[in-house]
């Protein structure tokens, strides 16, 4: 029988899982405490730092270390250069949010010499800033920046086509498609240069991007809607899929590969979390961290403990391997 690495798998899974609410909370805190101009510059710098960290990871030694560089870099890159940039342009050009039920959303921009200098956003005649986060959650569906993300579907598909028809990849899902569609037999597939930092970086961005668009399609009442049976079915498939992925992950011995598999498992599971939270089945404390300081502090403390513990575990494994080779 194959050996299971339950402790390593659970540790990797929890590290990546806790990054999700912490990343959400970081965005909310930045929006709350930073002035708009400072926020935009800080977010752009965050994305740049993420890119630098990812590229730096190519030059470090060791699969696990490269994976950690790619994981940290991808989180900063996605938050700074994807989420915040979408938010910036959505706000700048007056993209509406959607409402639950009936109401009127208005955006007004005053232009001076071709530049928008004053933006006003109202819901049912009330300025957006006058609503608390709890009040907004009751009347608003998705934030404006997420509503325009599905417009990038064609660009996302370019990457999917490249990975599916050109690349011999480690992604189990793409390999399944290649095998069952006969692509393996009819098309010459070649592996890319293997850099775990870049692999982790691309895995984060492609999967996050694709699953965000899937959620936006499911939430859109023109297509399906929050309470549509297909939306619940997508959530159920993601829950079952993440369980099967976790089962497979338990047999991965190395920290680097386990972390990369953990991200895939978590992001699929998180799709289930998003759907049930959207339908009010539990409260997302990370979208309102200022009113859940104790809980979010506990999440952060647990995350730090796990990072330190996994680092010590990895050092111990490395020392054991060195003794075996000596």
pLDDT digits (tens, 9 = 90+) for 72-118: 999 999 999 999 999 999 988 888 888 888 889 888 888 998 888 88
Does 243 share its domain with 285?
yes
DSSP state of 189: -
DSSP string, 232-290: HHHHHHHHHHHHHHHHHHTT--SHHHHHHHHHHHHHHHHHHHHHHHHTTSS--GGGSGG
- Is the separation of the CB atoms in 148 and 170 below 8 Å? no
- pLDDT tens string 227-244: 999 999 999 999 999 999
- Is 58 within a domain? yes
Phi, psi of 112 (to 5 degrees): -130, 120
Does 130 share its domain with 25?
no
Does 85 share its domain with 222?
yes
**How many distinct structural domains can be found in the chain?**
2
Does 133 share its domain with 198?
no
- pLDDT tens string 141-170: 888 999 999 999 999 999 999 999 998 888
| Average pLDDT of the chain to the nearest whole number | 90
Residue 302 tokens, joined: 């647990």
DSSP state of 167: B
Does 50 share its domain with 74?
yes
CA angle 8, 12, 16 (to 5 degrees): 170
Does 29 share its domain with 107?
no
Does 201 share its domain with 222?
yes
- Is 1 within a domain? no
Q: Give every strand in the sheet of 115-123, ordered side by side.
A: 105-112, 115-123, 126-127
The arithmetic mean of pLDDT across residues 285-289, rounded, is 87
Residue 136 tokens, joined: 């907004």
> pLDDT class for 326, splitting at 50, 70, 90?
low
- Is 274 within a domain? yes
Q: CA-CA distance, 99 to 113, in Å (whole number)?
A: 33
| Lowest mean per-residue pLDDT among 71-75, 124-128, 202-206 | 124-128
Residue 124 tokens, joined: 């049912």
Does 90 share its domain with 112?
no
CA angle 104, 105, 111 (to 5 degrees): 135
Does 212 share its domain with 307?
yes
Does 111 share its domain with 153?
no
Token pair 């996605």: residue: 78
- Reported residue count of the chain is 326
Does 236 share its domain with 261?
yes
Does 23 share its domain with 108?
no
For 111, the domain range is 99-140
């Amino acid at each position: 029988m194959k050996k299971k690495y339950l402790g390593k798998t659970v540790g990797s899974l929890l590290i990546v899982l806790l990054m999700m609410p912490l990343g959400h909370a970081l965005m909310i805190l930045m929006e709350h405490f930073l002035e708009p101009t400072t926020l935009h510059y800080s977010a752009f710098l965050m994305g740049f730092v993420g890119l630098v960290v990812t590229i730096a990871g190519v030059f470090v030694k060791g699969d696990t270390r490269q994976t950690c560089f790619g994981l940290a870099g991808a989180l900063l890159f996605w938050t700074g250069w994807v989420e915040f940039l979408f938010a910036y342009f959505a706000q700048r050009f007056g993209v509406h949010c959607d409402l639950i039920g009936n109401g009127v959303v208005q955006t007004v921009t005053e232009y001076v010499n071709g530049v928008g200098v004053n933006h006003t956003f109202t819901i049912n005649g009330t300025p957006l800033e006058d609503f608390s986060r709890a009040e907004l959650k009751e009347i608003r569906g998705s934030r404006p920046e997420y509503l325009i993300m599905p417009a990038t579907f064609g660009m996302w598909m370019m990457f999917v086509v490249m990975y599916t028809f050109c690349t011999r990849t480690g992604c189990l899902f793409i390999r399944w498609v290649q095998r069952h569609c006969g692509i393996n037999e009819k098309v010459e597939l070649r592996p890319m240069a293997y850099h775990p930092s870049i692999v982790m970086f691309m895995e984060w961005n492609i999967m996050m991007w694709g699953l965000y668009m899937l959620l936006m399609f499911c939430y859109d009442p023109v297509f399906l809607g929050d309470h549509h049976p297909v939306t619940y079915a997508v959530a159920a498939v993601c829950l079952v899929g993440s369980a099967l992925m976790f089962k497979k992950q338990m047999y991965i011995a190395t920290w680097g590969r386990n972390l990369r598999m953990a991200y895939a498992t978590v992001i699929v599971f998180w799709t289930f979390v998003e759907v049930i939270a959207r339908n009010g089945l539990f409260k997302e404390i990370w979208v309102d961290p200022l009113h859940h300081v104790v809980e979010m502090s506990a999440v952060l403390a647990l995350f730090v403990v796990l990072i330190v513990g996994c680092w010590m575990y990895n050092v111990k494994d490395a020392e054991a391997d060195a003794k075996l080779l000596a």
